[in-house]
Chains A and B, each alone.
Chain A
Amino acid sequence: GAVVSQHPSRVICKSGTSVKIECRSLDFQATTMFWYRQFPKQSLMLMATSNEGSKATYEQGVEKDKFLINHASLTLSTLTVTSAHPEDSSFYICSARDRVAASNEQFFGPGTRLTVL
């Protein structure tokens, strides 16, 4: 149980285009999903917290107009990187928290490798 998927697993795009990444909880409902960014050989940095039916909460220094987050249902959150530039190239990982779980354990997706040319 507690499987989180991400799509796509890899994406290469041209500078200036927008890219959408999906995060789905497959066998549980997630009122809260999290989006992380990971640079090579570095740790995960939380970008934003996505709450179903409300606006996302962004961490300091993360541009909300650059990284659009939508959490339209209890099983789906999307991250759209708008007008992507090479510096946006990174590994993006989402996680989801089970709405009925007492703890704040998060289940992680496999990640999406974004390369902006």
Chain B
Amino acid sequence: AQSVTQPDIHITVSEGASLELRCNYSYGATPYLFWYVQSPGQGLQLLLKYFSGDTLVQGIKGFEAEFKRSQSSFNLRKPSVHWSDAAEYFCAVGAAGNKLTFGGGTRVLVKP
């Protein structure tokens, strides 16, 4: 069975500082990996996805993520955080034609 772990429940970062959110997955084959962001009371917005090819993936809003098969990780990064990046971030894993499994989420707080 596939599973996703986001070790950090909360992260507080100063505006302008860098951000890294960790994601570890468990899946028997090459997974499809996703990062979503959710603002309070809202649905999910896709930040980026990895299916194959270049392991460094660029997404929207200045985010990027790196797929590391040896570590079963897909960490999300942003070089300089803006106050509007405060939200809940979810990592998800899925197989072709199959359902998604979400991690527990990481809440990001941005200090001015």
Contact = CB atoms under 8 A, between A and B. Distances in A.
Contacts of A104: 32, 94-98, 100
Interface in A86-112: 91, 93, 95, 103-111
A27 B17 CA distance: 38
Interface in A49-97: 49, 91, 93, 95
Interface residues of A, number: 22
A44 B104 CA distance: 8
Interface string B58-101: 00000000000000000000000000000000100011111111
A7 B107 CA distance: 27
A34 B98 CA distance: 11
Interface of A: 4, 6, 34, 41-44, 46, 49, 91, 93, 95, 103-111, 113
Interface of B: 32, 34, 36, 41-46, 49, 51, 90, 94-105, 107
